[in-house]
Amino acid sequence: MKACGCEPATTFESIIWRQGPYDGFYCAEMGDACVGQWLSAPSNTIVIAKRWMDDSHTVKHEMLHAILGRGDHPPIFRRLLLADR
């Protein structure tokens, strides 16, 4: 992370994982349905829809939000090929 100029806001160990409904769920921040969401401080929780739990892109995308402590998509998401599809 530091090699890319990004400072981690937390550790992998501090992330709390939750499984959401099968196909997805409503994300108030997006105003739409989603399959993964990072819930910021103080919970540092990632919720992934059951159907998407094994999708590495979705899991890594949400993990990057948690590690960076940011809900936006800075350039590192594109560099790691983790921008939204």
pLDDT band at 1 (very low <50, low <70, confident <90, very high): low
45 strand-pairing partners = 16, 39
pTM, entire model? 0.84
Q: What is the pLDDT of residue 9?
A: 77
Cα–Cα dist 14/57, whole Å: 20
Q: What is the pLDDT of residue 3?
A: 56
Q: Convert the pLDDT of each residue in 18-66 to its tens digit.
A: 999 989 898 877 778 899 999 887 788 999 999 999 999 999 999 999 9
CB 37 within 8 A of CB 47: yes
Minimal CA–CA distance to 58: which of 26, 34, 28, 31?
34
Domain ranges of the chain: 2-79
Minimal CA–CA distance to 66: which of 12, 1, 6?
12
